[in-house]
Amino acid sequence: MMRHFLAALACLMLLATPLRAQDSFGPVQTLLQQHRDAIVKSSRKTIEPAIAALAGSGLASVAQVLEKWQDKALWVREADGLFVYAAPQGDALALTDIDSGEALGSVPKADATQIKPNSGIRSLIAAALVQFQLSDPDPARRLAALDAIARDPSATQLAPLRAAIADETDPAVKAQKERLERLLTLRFDPDEAARIAAIASFRGDLGQDVRAALNPLVATTRRTAAGGVPEGENVARLLTPGGADLPLSEAQALLVAAGALQPVLTIAERRTALVANVDGGSVGGFAVADLDTETARVLAYEALEASGKVPPAASDAEVTAALAAHVFYDAYAEPSALVATEAAAVLRSAETRIAINQAIDLTLDALSLASIYFLAAIGLAITFGVMRVINMAHGEFIMMGAYTGYVVQQVIANYTVSILVALPVAFAVTFLAGVVMERLVIRRLYHRPLETLLATFGISIALQQLAKNIFGTQARPLTSPAWLDGALTFNDVVSISYIRIAIFVLALVFLAVFLFIMKRTRLGLEVRAVQQNRAMAASMGINPDRINMLTFGLGSGIAGIAGVAIGLFAKVTSELGSDYIVQSFMTVVVGGVGNIWGTLLGATMIGFLQKGIEWLNPSNTLAAQTYMIIFIIIFIQFRPRGIIALKGRAAGD
């Protein structure tokens, strides 16, 4: 009994103990106690002074307090009302002193109250934390803070960002801070002159962040007002109803939205309303037979309107009067005329540079596409130029090379080594496949183009089905090395991926190798001899059949290497070759049959043509392909032998 009495007495004494004097609090605890009611209440409307007091205190540990508060790790101990850090420890809470960081033991969860900030309060805390993160010793955290500001800028971030610039030691981070400070200044600084100076500093800048910051300053809203433009409006331009910039129907809609005019009915809407109110052969007191003019129908509708049977509608006279009594204009969202004018001028100055850079970017894309088409078509140009064989299975040699690269990567895990190995292996595999195809099929069909076309088309289907049986229908990855990831970026407009650059370089290498073989080796001499005059070459001791075999194998091997290159950015499937066979034939035909320089020019022409059409009609790739084919059909009507036509005896074969 005595034990229970003593326990009750201890509880009464504890409850009677007043809250510790604030003089004994640490500096952060003192601040928290001063704003205790607002913090415990956790209301978005009343919490700002508390957060501002903490952020402006200059105390080193404030950043940790804000982070703990944001993470819901800030608690109030019920026994003495102190704010503490708390972490779950089984069924209890392990407490830590806010100022000293010393452990305060543990208490049951019921003996402490968690401070739970809502999303609005957490956003305020995040904004307050920016000033601490911008001065963090870790450059990565400073950059992360800058990224966070850039994603969600606000006026409250401008002052701490400016304060963090002077002490920045990393040149790259400092440059980013200064740029972001100017972007925030042009939007949020109350000083008009400072905003204009910040805007002017971006003249000629092509950054998307600059355009994103300036565009809201020149955004306009279409408005109308009675009697004249209201005072304080920043007018971009005045509009005339019925003019090119303001159709009459839009002007009427603005008046209706402003409550200055009743809805304006179309002829069809008025007719429908009258038909719906026909009663005993009359409408609104007018005989149906008399409603043969628009004027009579307007009068009948007005009668129905007066009786409350139809909604009110504006008459022509009311529309005319309302249009005459109101002014129509586009108003800037930005209230300062000088700021909006400067922003518009800076954006205009960037338009020309953006257009030039877009042309450069389009040119790089076209050159990249041309290099792909050149790699895909060069083998076809060789076989068609020397042997006059239309090989419809050429695309499947490209597919075979891509799958060879995939298989090599399954054996060699290092992507750089695997690609370097895959290129010669793909050449060897497709070279042998081409030789076998020439020995078994092509050689028996010389001078029979229709049978050759049908036979190679059948082989194409067979190879596609074989690839499906071996690898399945699912796309297989051909992964590029890490050093080919990303893109070479010149600015926010012009960039080109490293894979495209590598393919472009590969195309140039193959052009040089092919020219060396054709101009500097015995094989090249024999190939050119057979191409120009097969009978004369045979009489000089050259074996045309052997040259045909090697030529077909060489063309197939190059297609295999093209397959490895194409597989680095395209899906490796059994239909991969089908996506490039049409462009390959068009490249050869446009460039000129059997001419390597013609093939290069043909690939360049088709690459630029396709990219140009896609730029003009970006939403419809199929239409772009159709337009390109139509253009090429027209082109060959005027240049049936291509850009560079063969000369001599070979031209007549």
Two structure tokens written together for 449? 């183009």
Using pLDDT thresholds of 50, 70 and 90, give the confidence band for residue 650. very low
- Give the Cβ contact number of residue 179 at 10 Å: 18
Q: What is the pLDDT of residue 646?
A: 56
Q: What is the pLDDT of residue 429?
A: 94
Q: What is the pLDDT of residue 400?
A: 93
Task: Please determine, for residue 2, whether its predicted confidence score (pLDDT) is greater than 90.
Answer: no
CATH code of 354-652, in short, is 1.10.3470
For residue 587, give the nearest of 469, 507, 528 by alpha carbon: 507
Calculate mean pLDDT across residues 420-448.
Answer: 89
The span from the CA of 217 to the CA of 203, in Å, is 15
Task: Choose between 184 and 527: higher pLDDT.
Answer: 184
Two structure tokens written together for 613? 């059409």
Q: Is the separation of the CB atoms in 577 and 395 below 8 Å?
A: yes
Q: What is the pLDDT of residue 571?
A: 83
Q: Whole-model pTM above 0.85?
A: no
- Supply angle C-alpha 551, 503, 357, rounded to 5: 135
pLDDT-above-70 percentage for the chain? 93
The span from the CA of 67 to the CA of 77, in Å, is 19
For residue 200, give the nearest of 42, 346, 370 by alpha carbon: 346
Task: Please determine, for residue 442, whether its predicted confidence score (pLDDT) is greater than 50.
Answer: yes
**Residue 356 is inside which H or E element, if any?**
helix 337-387
Task: Please determine, for residue 112, whether its predicted confidence score (pLDDT) is greater than 70.
Answer: yes
Calculate mean pLDDT across residues 209-217.
Answer: 89
For residue 79, give the nearest of 19, 24, 4, 6 by alpha carbon: 19
Task: Please determine, for residue 10, whether its predicted confidence score (pLDDT) is greater than 50.
Answer: no
Q: What is the pLDDT of residue 431?
A: 93
Task: Please determine, for residue 412, whether its predicted confidence score (pLDDT) is greater than 60.
Answer: yes
- Supply angle C-alpha 378, 383, 384, rounded to 5: 95
Calculate mean pLDDT across residues 586-590.
Answer: 81
Q: Is the separation of the CB atoms in 593 and 381 below 8 Å?
A: yes
Q: Is the separation of the CB atoms in 504 and 375 below 8 Å?
A: no
Mean pLDDT across the chain, nearest whole number?
A: 84
According to DSSP, residue 480 is labeled: P
Distances 211 to 169, 349, 537 between C-alpha atoms, Å: 28, 12, 66
Task: Please determine, for residue 127, whether its predicted confidence score (pLDDT) is greater than 80.
Answer: no
- Give the Cβ contact number of residue 150 at 10 Å: 17
DSSP β-bridge partners for residue 223: 329
The span from the CA of 535 to the CA of 283, in Å, is 97
For residue 611, give the nearest of 262, 366, 256, 340 by alpha carbon: 366
Rg value, the chain, Cα = 39
Q: What is the pLDDT of residue 338?
A: 92
The per-residue pLDDT for range 596-638, each reduced to its tens digit, is 788 888 888 888 888 888 887 766 666 667 777 788 788 877 8
Helices (H) and strands (E) in the chain, counts: 27, 12
Please state the three-class secondary structure of 11-75 as a single string: HHHHHHCCCCCHHHCCHHHHHHHHCHHHHHHCCCCCCHHHHHHHHCCCCCCHHHHHHHHHCCCEE
Task: Please determine, for residue 441, whether its predicted confidence score (pLDDT) is greater than 70.
Answer: yes
Two structure tokens written together for 147? 């990224």
Two structure tokens written together for 254? 């603005």
Task: Please determine, for residue 477, whether its predicted confidence score (pLDDT) is greater than 90.
Answer: no
The per-residue pLDDT for range 301-325, each reduced to its tens digit, is 888 888 888 888 888 888 889 999 9
Two structure tokens written together for 443? 């050689």
Task: Please determine, for residue 483, whether its predicted confidence score (pLDDT) is greater than 90.
Answer: no
Task: Please determine, for residue 651, whether its predicted confidence score (pLDDT) is greater than 50.
Answer: no
Q: What is the pLDDT of residue 493?
A: 80
- Supply angle C-alpha 352, 353, 356, rounded to 5: 90
- Please state the separation of Cα 8 from the chain's center in Å: 69
Q: What is the pLDDT of residue 621?
A: 62
Q: What is the pLDDT of residue 594?
A: 62
Calculate mean pLDDT across residues 434-453.
Answer: 85
Q: Is the separation of the CB atoms in 329 and 223 below 8 Å?
A: yes
Please list the alpha-helical segments (H only) found in 189-313: 192-200, 208-218, 248-257, 267-276, 294-306
Determine phi and psi for 359, rounding to 5 degrees: -65, -40
The span from the CA of 400 to the CA of 530, in Å, is 28
The per-residue pLDDT for range 524-562, each reduced to its tens digit, is 788 878 777 778 888 888 888 888 888 888 888 988 998
What residues contact residue 277 under an 8 Å CB cut-off, 6+ apart?
Answer: 283, 284, 304, 309, 310
Task: Please determine, for residue 438, whether its predicted confidence score (pLDDT) is greater than 60.
Answer: yes
Please list the alpha-helical segments (H only) found in 568-595: 578-591
Q: Is the separation of the CB atoms in 51 and 130 below 8 Å?
A: no
Q: Which of 124-133, 445-454, 607-616, 643-652 has the lowest mean pLDDT?
A: 643-652
Q: Is the separation of the CB atoms in 196 and 338 below 8 Å?
A: yes
Amino acid, res. 584: S
DSSP β-bridge partners for residue 496: 488
Task: Choose between 8 and 581: higher pLDDT.
Answer: 581
Q: What is the pLDDT of residue 271?
A: 87
The per-residue pLDDT for range 395-406, each reduced to its tens digit, is 899 999 999 999
The span from the CA of 460 to the CA of 625, in Å, is 22
Q: Is the separation of the CB atoms in 476 and 573 below 8 Å?
A: yes
Using pLDDT thresholds of 50, 70 and 90, give the confidence band for residue 647. low
Task: Please determine, for residue 8, whether its predicted confidence score (pLDDT) is greater than 70.
Answer: no
The per-residue pLDDT for range 216-270, each reduced to its tens digit, is 999 999 999 998 899 889 999 999 998 888 999 899 999 999 888 888 888 888 8
Terminal-to-terminal C-alpha distance of the chain = 123
Calculate mean pLDDT across residues 66-70.
Answer: 88
What residues contact residue 142 under an 8 Å CB cut-off, 6+ apart?
Answer: 133, 134, 135, 136, 164, 168, 170, 173
Task: Please determine, for residue 144, whether its predicted confidence score (pLDDT) is greater than 80.
Answer: yes
Two structure tokens written together for 277? 């109110």
Calculate mean pLDDT across residues 104-131.
Answer: 86
Two structure tokens written together for 170? 């990393």
Calculate mean pLDDT across residues 63-72.
Answer: 87
Using pLDDT thresholds of 50, 70 and 90, give the confidence band for residue 138. confident
Q: Among all chains, which residue has been given the structure tokens 């080594």? A: 417
Burial class (CB in 10 A: 0-12, 13-18, 19+), 117: buried
The span from the CA of 629 to the CA of 495, in Å, is 28
Q: What is the pLDDT of residue 83?
A: 92
The span from the CA of 503 to the CA of 483, in Å, is 14
Calculate mean pLDDT across residues 122-143.
Answer: 82
Burial class (CB in 10 A: 0-12, 13-18, 19+), 441: middle
Task: Please determine, for residue 648, whether its predicted confidence score (pLDDT) is greater than 50.
Answer: no
| DSSP three-state, residue 221 | strand
For residue 590, give the nearest of 578, 580, 603, 579 by alpha carbon: 603
Using pLDDT thresholds of 50, 70 and 90, give the confidence band for residue 379. confident
Q: What is the pLDDT of residue 448?
A: 82
